[in-house]
Amino acid sequence: MAEIDVEPVERIEEDVVPTGIDAPEYVLYGGKGGVGKTTMAAATALASARDGTRTLVVSTDPAHSLSDTFEYDIPSEATRIREEIPLYAAEIDPDAALEEQAGMLGGENPLGGMLGDEDDGPMASLLGGAMPGADEAAAMQKLLEFLDDERFERVVVDTAPTGHTLRLLELPELMDTMVGRMMSLRQRFQGMMDGVKGMFGGGADDPEEGMDDLDAFKERIQDLRRTLRDPSKTDFRVVMIPEEMSVFESKRLLAQLDEFGIPVGTVIVNRVMENLADVTDSVDSSRFATPNLEECEFCQQRWEVQQGALREAQDVFRGHTIKRVPLFADEVRGEEMLRVVAACLD
């Protein structure tokens, strides 16, 4: 069996790789864990910023590999990470975001702090129990702030693995239902609370306290829902690898996104065992090692597996724009390799 020669990538000239991307204001990358969403988001944001577009790339993935990809310690607040281009980045820590939003999203029950009620108390029962994913709700609140930030002309989001992403996408509906219950409870008990306040000279807590913030949060969630469903504003891109389980997972994600009315414009197949020249002519492919499909038995078997998955993906995602990114011998870290990936996505 022949070995695959692996050589380091030489420096890639700045003017070789195209700048800019053809995408709306918001670009979200989703998919199964470990398929390369962070790489795609980082490459997209870098290309976007290189043409002068003020771009923020934000990760809601608890793994926080965005810092490793850019080789830069990215904080939780949106921070400019490159001086020569308007590139900003942030990694949302769901636990830290939950603690920060504790006033409104207290504990497991997001309304517990505001109501002064325990998770297993009577008010929690009235609300249907503790709301799942309070940390993700807090992360979404943080994400909403970034989406509303006028400093940025484009926001690229590296979402958490599929299951977490779908829970985030369910939160607008869950929060809408929860807020509706709160409005009903407020009206139902308003008279009673007014009476209690009168008896004790106004000493009781004001039941209106915190409701204005909750109303505002509900409106922002509704705005998010509209934004996610508007293809002129948002492109949700599904990332997968050429393996049967990844195709299945991506198909399921596509169906669930369709249920939410969220359009998917692009499907990206990452780590395909093919020559870079088959994907883009913007980069000199001779600089990159490729699998030897003629003499390497292992490579041949893996290629057959990938070919089957690619054929299935073509059928499943017919009607979508499909982009391929080759399997690189080098780890995709740092701006030079990200620029190569961006060329594949161009």
**Contact predicate 279/344, CB 8 Å:** yes
pLDDT of residue 57: 97
Lowest pLDDT segment from 9-18, 167-176, 287-296: 9-18
C-alpha 38/C-alpha 28 separation (Å) is 11
Q: 228: closest CA among 178, 273, 282, 265?
A: 265
Average pLDDT of the residues in 178-184: 67
Q: What is the DSSP string of 216-257?
A: HHHHHHHHHHHHHT-TTTEEEEEEE-SSHHHHHHHHHHHHHH
Gap between the Cα atoms of 117 and 169, Å rounded: 27
Residue-wise pLDDT for 331-346, tens only, equals 899 999 999 999 999 8
| φ, ψ at 233 (rounded to 5°) | -110, -30
Confidence at 1, pLDDT banded by 50, 70, 90: very low
Q: Is the pLDDT of residue 87 over 80?
A: yes
* Domain-wise residue ranges, the chain: 26-345
pLDDT band at residue 80 using 50, 70 and 90 as cut-offs: very high
CA–CA–CA angle 127, 128, 132 (5° rounding): 100
Which structure tokens are listed for 68?
């490793």
Instruction: Specify the CATH number of the domain 26-345.
Output: 3.40.50.300
Residue 293 pLDDT more than 60?
yes
Residue-averaged pLDDT of the chain: 78
Mean pLDDT of 30-51: 94
End-to-end CA distance of the chain: 36
pTM (predicted TM-score) = 0.78
